[in-house]
Amino acid sequence: MRLHVIARGKLGRSPEAELVDRYAKRIAWPLKLTELPDVGGTVPASPTPNREVLLDERGRQLSSEEFAALLGRWRDEGVREARFLIGAADGHGAAARDKADLLLAFGAMTWPHLLARALLMEQLWRATSILAGHPYHRSG
């Protein structure tokens, strides 16, 4: 299953970009990163079947193990692409939230969208590592 992170805004050369790149290199699954302008631009088409996850402060909070299990279940069900959408500073509209398969939150706090991208990449790396059987320090 391919992981596809679609984010509004450009990281450019920044500490956040370095973190995203560091985790992108560690993820063993196929990975695609797409940046869109803050306003406008269209979300690229996706292979089917897919799952669409929006990062949203109203979303579900999952543990790393729960997130890994979800990705593993989708992979085992034959999902070809899991898409993770990170909105601009104002987040996502109601129509996008209604269409999503999952709204995902990184806690109750509001995170800048550039940091949210680095947090997502770290959790994707952690989830794929858990699924590969690497020991996870909080398991057991």
- pLDDT digit string (tens) for 91-133? 788 988 999 999 999 988 888 878 899 999 999 999 999 999 9
Q: Quote the pTM value.
A: 0.91
Asked whether residue 140 carries a pLDDT value surpassing 60, the answer given is no
Q: How far apart are CA 24 and CA 125, in angstroms?
A: 8
- pLDDT digit string (tens) for 33-92? 999 887 777 788 888 899 999 999 889 999 999 999 999 999 999 999 999 999 877 778
H-state helical runs in the chain: 15-26, 64-76, 94-99, 113-131
Between 15 and 82, the higher pLDDT residue: 82
Q: State residue 139 phi and psi, 5-degree precision.
A: -75, 155
